[in-house]
Structure 1
Amino acid sequence: MKSFNIFLVLFVLLAGCKENNPQNQTAASESTASESQYFGSVFDAEGALSGDKVVMALSELQTPDSLTVSFTGKVTDVCQMKGCWIKVSLDEGEEIRVTFKDYGFFVPKDITGKEVTLHGTGFIEELSVEDQRHFAKDGGASEEEIQKITSPKVTYSFVADGVLLNE
């Protein structure tokens, strides 16, 4: 019995020493780097609205109304601390600030200028001076720009449960 236990321990140790081949893992991740990538929940991006249609739909909302929708737009700003929020252009200078449901996922910090399709809930919100300054700081604004924020602002906001980075 004692020799069986020794054999079992040696077998487990040798099995644990199996060579891990990270080259295969790297090759697999490189092959998908040029494909679209989801963050958060996977959703059907077919039929996503354009920015101008989202502006029309959101402009009809009254606080505390909300609208569940998918839409596509270009990222104009990203939280440089964690990637915990983004700003997306909608139409003719309009932007929407996007956070992620339950702080459950983040996006890469280097996606400014890239197209994304988002799914979640849009609404109109009044941002306090404190919140605006916090977001400006996270976005990398200078202290001078941050101090220029002096009044609350009514904005379009969106809580995304899924983001598709269109590569």
Structure 2
Amino acid sequence: MNGSPRSRSTYLLTIPLAFLATMACAREGVPPESTGSTEHAETPSGVPGAAEGASEAQTGERSFGAPLVGNGETVPLGALLDEPARYTGQVVRTEGEISAVCQRMGCWMELRDSQARAVRVPMAGHAFFLPRDVAGRRAIVEGPLTVRPLGAAEREHLASEGAGATDVALELSATSVVILAPAPG
């Protein structure tokens, strides 16, 4: 530092920016339940990382992300899997069984249809996370549908987190997820 006012102010500005960048990167791999932050989800007792829906006590449903938009038509998951080109780029609402959830952070799930075909459902932009223990439950999911190739590194990363639908390029980026109440019995 040569002592000029400009270099001092640049130096003083660089320190807080470097600190903020370091903190943002350090938080990236930390599950939300360990940060103490309620930025993504409130944690009800006994359910790590779960957001408590307003009506959970009465219905057993739990909502995550943005509210479902309007009274949208539910497209059968099988139709999305059979004709992805018809729905690509559209915001769709579908329903299926949760067959897998990211065991690291709850940042993605796989939703399968009645024929056990699965689609990858990442939580849009990591804006929210799902509880890691909801596999086997049914869910309503809403978000834009895309088809994109998965590179080898991404397939390997997803498989390391428990994903099975790593060969499928179909992806529903969830902006809303409603985990339905368990079936009685």
Between 130-139 and 38-47, the greater mean CA deviation after superposition = 38-47
Contact 2:100 2:163 in 1 (8 A): no
User: Aligned AA for 1:77?
Assistant: A
Identity of aligned residues (%): 20
Instruction: For 1:50 and 1:60, locate their aligned partners in 2 and report how far apart those are by CA, in whole Å.
Output: 13
Shift of 1:46: 5.7
The equivalent of 1:158 in structure 2 is: 172
Structure with the larger RCO, 1 or 2 (CA within 8 Å, 6+ apart): 1
Do residues 66 (structure 1) and 51 (structure 2) align? no
Q: TM-score normalised to the size of structure 2?
A: 0.60
Instruction: For 1:97 and 1:140, locate their aligned partners in 2 and report how far apart those are by CA, in whole Å.
Output: 8
In structure 2, the CA distance between the partners of 1:47 and 1:89, relative to structure 1 (3 Å rule), is same
The equivalent of 1:128 in structure 2 is: 151
The equivalent of 1:9 in structure 2 is: none
Structure 2 counterparts to residues 131-146 of structure 1, below 5 A:
131-139=154-162
User: Aligned AA for 1:51?
Assistant: L
Structure 2 gaps of 5+ residues are 1-43, 46-53
SS in 2 for 1:117: strand
The equivalent of 1:40 in structure 2 is: 65
Aligned length: 129
Contact 1:99 1:158 in 2 (8 A): yes
Contact 1:84 1:99 in 2 (8 A): yes
The equivalent of 1:4 in structure 2 is: none
User: Aligned AA for 2:173?
Assistant: V
- Choose 1 or 2 for highest CA Rg: 1
Greater share of strand residues, 1 or 2? 1
